Structures are given as structure tokens and as C-alpha cells.
Amino acid sequence: MKNGQNVLRIQEHHDCAFVRRVEQQSHQKVSQCYQCGNCTASCAFTDDYDFPVNQIMRLIQLGRKETVLGSRAIWLCGQCQACTVRCPCTIDVARVMGTLRVLALENGYVADKNLRRFADEFLRSVSLFGRVFEAGLLAAYKLRSGTVLSDMELAPELLKKGKLSFVPHRIGGRREVAALVKRFSSAL
Amino acid sequence: MRIGVFVCRCGTNIAGTVDTQAVAAGALASPDVVYATELLYTCSEPGQQEIQNAVLTHRLQGVVVAACSPRMHELTFRRAVEKAGLNRYLLEMANIREHVSWIGQDKAANTEKALELVRMAVAKVRRNEPLFGSQVPLTKRVMVIGGGVAGIQAALDCADAGLDVVLVEREPTIGGKMAKLDKTFPTIDCSSCILGPKMVDVAQKENITLHAATEVESLSGTIGNFTVTLRKKAVYVDWDACTGCGLCMEKCPSKKNPDGFNEGLGAAPAIRIPFPQAIPKKAHIDRSACRYFSTGKCRVCQKICPVGAVRFDMEDRQVVEHVGAIIVATGYDLFDPAAYGEYGAGRYPDVITAMQFERILSASGPYGGHIRRPSDGREPRDIVFVACVGSRDKSVNRPYCSGVCCMVIAKQAILARDHLPEARCYVFYMDIRAPGKNYDEFVRRAVEEYGVQYIRGRVGKIYPKGERLVVQGADTLLGARVEVDADLVVLATGVEPSRGARELAEKLHISADTNGFFMEGHPKLKPVETNTAGIYLAGACQGPKDIPASVAQGSAAAAKVLALFARDSIATDPQTAHVMEKVCIGCGKCLSVCPFGAIQWKTLRDGTKKAQVLETVCQGCGLCNATCPPKAVQLNHFTDDQILAQLETLCA
Amino acid sequence: MTDRSSLRILGFLCNWCSYGGADTAGVCRFRQPALLRIIRIPCTGRMDPMFVVKALVQGADGVLVSGCHPKDCHYGVGNFYARRRLETVGRFLSFIGMDPRRFRYTWVSASEGQRWQQVVTEFSALIEELGPNPGIGSSAPASHSRQFLSG
Amino acid sequence: MPMSDCVAYYPGCSLEGLAVEYDVSTRAVCRALGLTLVELNDWNCCGSSPASLHEPMLSAALAGRNLLLAQENHLNTVMTPCPGCLKALKGAIKIRDSHPEALAQALGRPLSEQVHAVSVLQLLYEKVGPEALSRAVRRGFDGLPVVPYYGCLLTRPQAVARFDDPENPVSMDRLLEAVGCTVPDFPFKTECCGATSGITRSDIVSRLSGRILDMAQRSGARAIVVACPLCQQNLDLRQAQAEKAMGTRFGIPVFYLTQVIGWALGLPQKDLGLEKLIVPGDGLLPAREPPEPSES
């Protein structure tokens, strides 16, 4: 195992409540996984993962809550569905990965702060205007994440092609939308 | 009536969750019960003895055994009471194991339920009558359906014992899947060298009638006396005349047709003998490929045939056979890998199935035994084998293990290395299942002696890159996605029931499991029987099997038939319908519903018409009983009285 | 019957498919509620619709009939006749003021242990929910139905 | 056209900004093919992937509000060109089917079972079809080799998409063939382009999109045709990043399906937003002016 943990005491680190929670929230039965590895074989993002998907599934089976929720992999998943489509055990693996993100946030684990920042800015934009105001969102995100310089080469092209609108479109029902965001998100 | 009740503990199987003593004590309160006890293992020798003793000591006239399912041991206990002098139909069973102790943990509820089931059985046995079957002569001929290795073995064993055998094969030749194999695991002996002589034997035995290119159309009758209607398909060649010289194949102008025997690799003429060792070695015309049938012109084969055997006007024809027993050995088909869009089988010519690779390996195959790529004829340097394609995969509705693919792959990788010592072989597998004699050693040889690289993980995608293919899989032992560049990819496609298996099951009134394989009589104790008396199973039609297991089952099914035919007559089941003439109003409804034509009119002296049951034809379904308006027709052992007595015991 | 504290379901199962399915469920140790009592019949074609009515009139809380899947009948057509006859039973039950949900007809093959478990569990839950059978005339009034039955 | 034959149009936020050419070409093509689009009045953002970080009802409610707008207009079919939006709409529909009361409670009104969502690809494939499309072609592509790139979500997962094959979809292939393109085998039709990773990890997008561009080049395609704003951005806008990362040069234009079809139908360049592409594709378009429509 990674992180120098070469001996794992199975009983000591088994968090049953975590396994149940993942299964309930994702509506998937993780015990169905027999570790064929097809999710990893099909994963476009596995190069950057700390644990390949099949090991994430194994770690859930073993109830290793901290390792799973603290992993980088769950934040890098692109939700491309390749794992779900090819799973011979018909587990919606992408959905499990999505569920893990929600649980990680709930439990105060955030492996990728930038992703969190972007998500917050996105929903803020939705609450303000009812739709996403791309130019404003990108500017706000880049500013907050301190990554102003990355992707800078794209801006002139976008401006030239008239692809970035600088006037946000406010919809009539934006208060209604803001209320929905407020009601169903823990973030804002 | 004096009734005895015997409650089985079945070790702890029943006693663990049912208070058997309380059930026995409670049973004494039922009417007519004069004796009740619990027993440790009722089906054991001492248990049966105990019953027989009690019958004599307590002058019992009826017996209730509360134990396992009657489907398991009813016959055992019927014989036991018979030995004690009771009629076997004065026995009833209460199923307190499969239906009680094994499905619930609540001992109080189970005990109450068991006692109620016993009371219902007592109520039934009080109304039971002694029944006697009659003896009918047996037709000592056996039909074997399917001419693969299992069917061939069964047919030869029966024929060796002197029986008349009717062997029915859907294809124009016998041999089945085994005839297509190059070598067999784990001995690497030549498949056709061991199967060929058996096929020849079939042709030479005078007491085997072979119907090739023939399918079963319908079945009637019961054990001992079946009537089977067969449809002999038109092959457009008179097989009595054809000598199998093969001249027609040479001259046929329509040569480039997909060759079924070579799994679509290579081409075959429209008129052909499937392969050189075919039995019968007769030509047939593939109608869809024949020019005469599509354009009305050609007839080259007809002109060239030295014996004038070609008959374009041939039609399907029916044949009726009378047999006393049937062995079903219809084998299997292979999963169509096109269901995996990500593997590209069908789109990429160098992604092939293991059966196609088998034909490539075979010296009589499309490439003369030289391993080449179908796309460009080049020798492959890197060969990747993919296990479990259509096995253990719920997403394609094949949740079961096919059992043989692990060994097939190991064999093919070894053979590939033998043919092409420079080639590198890779195997993607999930688990290696090699439990047979010398099987695991064989797989180890592939790894250790032949240097086959086993990679533990499934394959996600196969795609072409230039002239080669990229196999994208996982190595779960490493926790990595891996890629292998390949020249040839072999998919070990899974085993599935033979096409048409369900329809055949319907015709034969046998059942199939959820995956479509035929159901054996009991998973352990009746592996070659079906629930229909007189019909037996052999080989992969019952579930995935390798050659040794199929051969063993072929012989086992033959032994069952020989045991059946060891007597001269067979007792009919007396659980048939009978008509109470005084009650019968002659409406004829029973005649119209009977699926077997077992009811006919009988004219009394006064001219009135009454229904009459032909006991030897009646199968005992009871449809007439439920249909009869005045309830004049009653099904023995399942009469209205008997059923209502059970119902009332529970509801009262 | 001594004690009617708990509910009772009467099952009529054909010997070839469903009885075997119930056996399979037992062999696989698939847990099921203990309400059901099974009567084995050769074929659902043997089912007289009056068995269902009688059982419910006499106090069974539910009746479950199960046979082979369509086309899988050991006798070829028995289950087709059963289906036709038993389909009318539900309507008749309403007519005599009996809740038709207390009767169910289903197909389970000998290999479908899991399906059998599901059928028994679901039907038992329904009967638990409906509670004890209050007898005829309780669910929808049909004044002449009693006469019909006794006549 | 009676209202029931009209289709509710939900463009989604991207089509107001970075994918404006997808919006104009979708409208133009549908108009030309006799499909009446009624843009949902006052539609809102579907929530996209950021909403999925919160409880499932957030996504369902945001998407569901748009479905309600369609319902109030008596329109049962909601079409969106954006697969991300489609996923959100179908997610809301799934919750409507499994927990109708919960969704109704969140939205304040129940959502009818009649309302369903389709992509513009599905609409064109099923309502128009390759045959009718080929008859409407006025400026055929004369065998131009192009590869269709479907992306992750249009056909997957199958249980949600209920359209085409999840591994080897062919609907776009057929439509492209209908307008005269040749479609070589393209094994990466549904391989991921990097999705939203571009915002935080453009290196991942460079690698994944680079792989797709490389395979397109190997297959001999002169252009890639997409049906997703995000895929288009990753392959077109970020093509230079991919080229830099891989040390190669692709220069492969990435058209929206509606742009290609629109051009074949003879629509003017300004109706298709072709000038908005970063990697220019003008050189590939058949220059021949459409012939006058003949009377028949």
C-alpha cells in the first residue's frame, strides 16, 4: 500500500458506518466489486490518481474512511462514465466517486482547494444571475485561486472571437434560483 | 384409520430451528394419529427401520413423515412403507426443512408452522386410497439428441450394450465443438485423433441410426414409450447416393462463402462437406450461397456429380421415431463478443475469438496450421489473450463462470509459443480456475516453461494504432493501468446454452435454469436426470463443461438408460384421473382440455355418453379435474377431497 | 387450529416449477417470513378457482398460487388454463366483498430461489399490512354474494 | 405547426458565451429542417458539476425548474445541445420518476411524467434521420474525411442516455455520411477529453485531448465533429496547449455537428458562427455555392 502503510490491521481500521453510508448515498452495493480492475483499465484520469479506482473500491470495502476521503483521486475523477459503462458487476462506479466527494466535503476533507473554490464561485454566479456568467466566473475564480497567469494565453483568442460576454444576463427568476441554491447547498 | 407421524431432526438441519419433539407431541392431537415420534435421520437405514417397526407394532394404516422436500425423499419413504406392507400411496410428507427450518430463524414460529404442515399432511393421508399402477411394455430404443462428444459417448455406450440408438444431429455432421478444436488440454493431444475414431464408430455401428441435419419437432408419450417427430432438413443432395468424393466442391463456382466450420475465416463453396473427417461424409448445399437458388442458373454440381445425387427440388421431410428414453446432449454455443463495443470484435479483423484461433492453429484450418493475422496474413509477434469475455459479467447478462476458458487460453498460448517461438504471449485474467486433474500444473507450465506473461486484470478497451492493436487493461496487482501493443488479440468468449435450447426444453417438457441451461433432477444426486422421467442430460447443455466431464456425463446418462431398460415393463404412475360415471354429465369439457388426448367417449348400454380416462396415456396434470363442472373427474392422490381437507385444516 | 394469533397464507404450488423454486430457496437458505403454508399440486392447471375462494372465505389471510413460467409448463398448457381461470378470481373476490389483493398468482421456476424469496417476502409484507382477513363482505358491499356462495 | 410538434429549447449557459456558435447553428439547422424550437423563457443554469458537490436535490431542483418551464408551455420534449445540461435534466427526470413527491416539494409544483429531455443529436437523428437529411443537402461534403467525437455523456451511461450504443455510437456517423462526409473508423469516439479538468488542471486536458487529436490525425480525418461545448473547447480552444504538451502540430478544426449540417444545407456562414472557431475550418468547407432549389 501507498503512504508507507505496508501493514494494515483489518479490524482496527474498518469503519462499518462509512461503508453503509457510501452504499446508501450512492445506491450502489460496493460488496459486488470483485476487483477485476476494468474501472482502472478504462480510467482516463488514473495517471494522476494517488489510488486507482479499483483500489478506491477495495478501500471502501475495507472501511478505510480516512484514506478514501483524503485521497486525491476522488477530486480528479472527470465523471466520464467509462468505469460505470464497463463494470461487469454493474456498479455505477462514477456515482460512487461522486458520492465520495460529497462525503469528503461533509467531513471536512478537501484534497483540491481550487476545485472547491471554482464550485463556490460557480454557484455564487448562479445565485446572482440565475445563469453562469462565464467571464465574471473565470475572473473571480482565477483571482481567488491565485492562478491568474495560467491559461492567460487563451484570453486574447477568446476576446478576438467574441466568445466572452462582459455583460451578465440576469434572469427574471433569479431570486427563485438563489433560494434553491441556498436551500439545497451547504456551502453558500 | 391408524396414522403414525415421524418427525425428522435431520441432525441439526431441522432440529436447529424447529422443536421437533413439540411437533411430534402436537401431532398426537390430530384425529386418527395413534403414534408420533421424532427421529434423528429418518432417511437413514435405522430411521426407515423405525418406521417399518412402528407400522407393524402400531398397526399403522397411514404414515406421515415430516422431513425434507418430497422431491428429495418421497420415493425413499414410499419404498420403506411398502416394505412394511402398506400401499406406497398411504404415505404423505410434510416439508419442514426446505420450507421451514432452512428459511427462518424464529424457532417458535417455525415449530408452529411445522406442526400445521404436519396436521395438513395428516388430513390428507386420512383421505388417501391405495393406488396401483399397471405394467406396460418398454420400447427398448434410445434417442440421443446432439452429436457432440457427450452425445457420441452416450450413443456408443448404449449401442455397445446392444440397444438400438437413434442419434439426432442438427448440423450436417456430428462432432460438435470438439471437432473444431486443434488440441485438447492438459495433454495437448490432437482433438480429431481422439474424437475421429469415435465418430467413425458411430457411422459403423449397425444399431445406431444417424439423422444428421435433423431437428426435433415434437414429442409425445411418457417414459418407456415416447414418440418423437423429427424434421430432416433439405440438404439438396441424396445422401443415399452421395459417395462423398468431393468433386462438386471443386467445381462449384460459388466459392467465396463464409466457412461456418472455420468460424468465418477462409471461404467455402456453396456445396460442401463440412470437413474431411465429417460423419456422415456427405455433401450438402448452403442454399443462401448457391447460385442456382439465387439466379435459377448454374447446376454445375448436378452436371458433374458422378452418381447424380444432387436434388434441387428436395424438401424438408418428417420422420417419426419411437423410443423408450431420450438423452439430451445439445451442448453449447459461444458468446458473441460484438456485445463488447469497446473490444471491436467484428470491426477489427485481428480481434478474434478463441474458437477462431483454434481453427487457425489447426492443420486442417483456413491457414493450414500456420498462425497468421486474418487482416494481412502476417505472423503475429505479440499475441494478447483476454479471459472472461461474456463470462462473470452481469452487464452482458452472463453472470456465471464458463469454466473452460482459463484452460483454453493456457493451451492456446502454449501452442502459439510452439508454433512461433519468437512470439510473445500475454494473458489478461481475473482469476485462474483450473481445478481439474493436472490443470493447474498445465497453467503453471504456460507461465514457467513457455514464458507466457499473465496480467491480473480485465481489459477496458482495444483499439487499432497503425498496423497493430493497443490493448488497454489493468494490472490490479500493481494498481496500474497497462497497455500492451498486439498484433493479434484472442477473446476467450464464454459458454452459453446452444441456440434453440429453450425451444427444445419446451418441446421436451424439461426445464431450464435462469441462464438457459437445462435443469438437472437434483444438483448433486441426479446430475444427468431431468424432472421428466425417461429424459436424461449429458454434457454442456446442463452447464459449462470440459471434454472429460462431458464424456463422463455421456456415459452416466447411458448407464441410466441401460438401468431403465434392464426390465421388460414399466409400472405406470397411478396418479391419473378417473371418472365417476354416475356423476359425469357427458359435457365433454374434459376431452377438450386434456393436453394428451387421454380422455375419450364411452357409450353405456343405455346409449348415454360418458368420459373415460386412458390410464396409460394420462399424465396426471389434473386439468380435467379442475374443468369438470360436476367434479366427476377426479385426479388420484390429488382429489378435491384431499386438497380441501388440507385447506380446511389450515383455515378452520 | 389452536391459536390464530398470527397470519396465515395458503400457497398452491405446482410440483415441477414453483415447488422446486421454493425448495431451491430453502437449499440456498434464503430467509422468508413464516406466514406461508404450501400445498403441493401437480400443475396450476389443477387449481380450481373455488380453492382460492374457499380458503379466503374460511379465514386464510392470503392465497398465493405459483406455477411455471408461460411456455415452461411440464404438461404444456396447464398454466395457460390456470392463468385464464385465476384472472377472473380477483374480480370475483371484489364481488363478494373480499379484498382482491389477498390473492396473488405468479410464476417461479425451479431454479429461481431468489425470485421465490422475493415473492414470499413481498406478499407476506402485503398481508401483514392488510392485517387479519375480516371475512367476506368486509371490503365492498355486495348483498347477494353470501347467497351466491351458499347456493 | 401545432404546439405539440414544437420542441422546447434549453440552450444552457455555455451556448450564451464560449459556445455561442453552437447556439446559432443549432437554431439555424432546426429552422431549416422544419423543427420549431421554442426557447424556454427565463431558463436558469442547470447547476452543472458544481451542484453535484451538494445534496442530489440541488442539481435536480435547478434542472427541474427548466423542465417545469417547458411543462407550463405545454411542451413535453426539451432539447438541449449541451450534454452536461442533458445529464442534469435527465438526473432531475430520474428523481421525478423515483421520488416524485420530493421533487414536487423542492420545486413547489409537481413535474409531469410526460416531460422528457433529448440532445440535439438525438432530435436530428430520430426526428429528421439520415435519409431525410441527405435529401435536404445542397452543398455536399464530397467525401471529406471527418471523425465524429461523441464524448462521455451523450450515450452513457446507457440506462440514463437510452440512446445509441455506449461504446461504439453511430448516430453522428450516419448523419455525417448523409451530408457527404466519409467517416473512417475512430476508436476514441467516447474517450474522455478531460471534461471540466481544464479549469483547475489544464495539463490533464492537454494530455487527454492530445490523445484524441492524435488518433484523429492517424485515422486520416481532416476535422473532428463534436456535439458538446466542453469537448469543443478542450479540443479547439486548448488545441495549442495540447500541441505544446505533445511537441507536435495538429491544426485540426473542431466543428459542431450543427455547423457541418448547416453548411451542407446551404445556410450562410453568419448563421453558423464558423468564424468563431479557434482552429479555422473554412478551408475544408465545399466552396461551391448551393444550386437554386429545383422544383420537383
Calculate mean pLDDT across residues D29-35.
Answer: 95
Given an 8 Å threshold on Cβ–Cβ distance, is A81 in contact with D208? no
Calculate mean pLDDT across residues B461-487.
Answer: 96
Q: Report how far residue B551's alpha carbon sits from residue D270's, in angstroms, rounded to the nearest whole number.
A: 74
Model confidence at D2, pLDDT cuts 50, 70, 90, reads very low
**Per-residue pLDDT, C139:** 61
* Distances, alpha carbon A129 to alpha carbons A132, A164, B94, in Å: 7, 16, 73
pLDDT tens for each residue of D189-205: 999 999 888 777 889 99
Q: Which of residues 128-147 of C touch B (CB under 8 A)?
A: none
Candidates B283, B301, B329; CA nearest to B158 is: B329
Residue A136 has pLDDT above 90, yes or no: no
| Burial of B418 from C-beta contacts in 10 A (0-12 / 13-18 / 19+) | middle
Instruction: List chain D residues with CB under 8 Å of A91.
Output: none
* Distances, alpha carbon B472 to alpha carbons A125, C5, D68, D195, in Å: 40, 63, 44, 21
As a whole-number percent, the residues of chain B with pLDDT over 90 amount to 94
Calculate mean pLDDT across residues B435-441.
Answer: 96
**Per-residue pLDDT, C76:** 83
pLDDT tens for each residue of B510-566: 989 999 999 998 888 899 999 889 999 999 999 999 999 999 999 999 999 999 999
pLDDT tens for each residue of B390-432: 999 999 999 999 999 999 999 999 999 999 999 999 999 999 9
Instruction: List chain D residues with CB under 8 Å of B465.
Output: 215, 218
Nearest CB among B110, B112, B638 relative to C42 is that of: B638
Calculate mean pLDDT across residues C15-22.
Answer: 94
Calculate mean pLDDT across residues B121-126.
Answer: 97
Model confidence pTM above 0.80: yes
**Per-residue pLDDT, A148:** 58
**Joined grid coordinates for residue A31:** 460488496
**Per-residue pLDDT, C138:** 64
Q: Report how far residue B393's alpha carbon sits from residue C35's, in angstroms, rounded to the nearest whole number.
A: 36
Instruction: List chain C residues with CB under 8 Å of B648.
Output: 58
- CA C149, distance to chain mean position in Å, is 20
Mutate to test the interface with A, among B481, B482, B483, B484 (most CBs of A within 10 A): B481
- Provide the residue count of chain D: 296
**Joined grid coordinates for residue A132:** 453562469
Calculate mean pLDDT across residues A157-174.
Answer: 81
* Chains in contact with C via at least 3 Cβ–Cβ pairs below 8 Å: B
Whether the Cβ atoms of residue B182 and residue B140 lie closer than 8 Å to each other: no
Model confidence at A116, pLDDT cuts 50, 70, 90, reads confident
**Per-residue pLDDT, A172:** 87
Within an 8 Å CB–CB cutoff, is residue D187 touching chain B? yes
* Distances, alpha carbon B63 to alpha carbons C6, C97, D260, D278, in Å: 29, 40, 84, 91
Residue C3 has pLDDT above 50, yes or no: no
Given an 8 Å threshold on Cβ–Cβ distance, is D50 in contact with A105? no
Candidates B466, B462, B394; CA nearest to B428 is: B462
Q: Report how far residue B84's alpha carbon sits from residue B639's, in angstroms, rounded to the nearest whole number.
A: 26
**Joined grid coordinates for residue C104:** 396473488
Calculate mean pLDDT across residues C13-42.
Answer: 95
**Per-residue pLDDT, C78:** 92
Nearest CB among C27, C55, C111 relative to B519 is that of: C111
pLDDT tens for each residue of B349-361: 999 999 999 999 9
D27 vs C4, residue with greater confidence: D27
pLDDT tens for each residue of D196-230: 887 778 899 999 999 999 999 999 999 999 999 99
Chain B nearest-CA residue for A85: B395
Model confidence at C149, pLDDT cuts 50, 70, 90, reads very low
Query: What is the rounded average pLDDT for all residues in chain B?
Result: 96
| Burial of B339 from C-beta contacts in 10 A (0-12 / 13-18 / 19+) | middle
Residue A5 has pLDDT above 80, yes or no: no
Chain A nearest-CA residue for D234: A154
Residue at grid coordinates 446507457: D158
Q: Report how far residue B548's alpha carbon sits from residue D91's, in angstroms, rounded to the nearest whole number.
A: 52
Weakest mean pLDDT among A137-141, B279-283, B388-392, C141-145 = C141-145
Calculate mean pLDDT across residues B331-345.
Answer: 96
Given an 8 Å threshold on Cβ–Cβ distance, is B638 in contact with C10? no
Instruction: List chain A residues with CB under 8 Å of B456.
Output: 37
Q: Which of residues 453-472 of B touch D (CB under 8 A)?
A: 461, 463-466
Q: Which of residues 130-149 of A touch D (CB under 8 A)?
A: 130-132, 134-135, 141, 145
Instruction: List chain B residues with CB under 8 Å of C34.
Output: 100, 104, 106, 109-110, 112-113
C138: alpha, beta or left, given left = phi > 0 and alpha = psi -120 to 50? alpha
B463 strand-pairing partners? B470
Chain D nearest-CA residue for A42: D191
Candidates B328, B318, B282, B324; CA nearest to B147 is: B328
Helix (H) or strand (E) run with residue A95 in it: helix A93-106
Residue C95 has pLDDT above 90, yes or no: no
Nearest CB among B70, B109, B519 relative to C110 is that of: B519
CA atoms D75, D76, D82, D87: torsion sign: positive
Q: Report how far residue C143's alpha carbon sits from residue B570's, in angstroms, rounded to the nearest whole number.
A: 56
Candidates B43, B17, B16; CA nearest to B112 is: B17
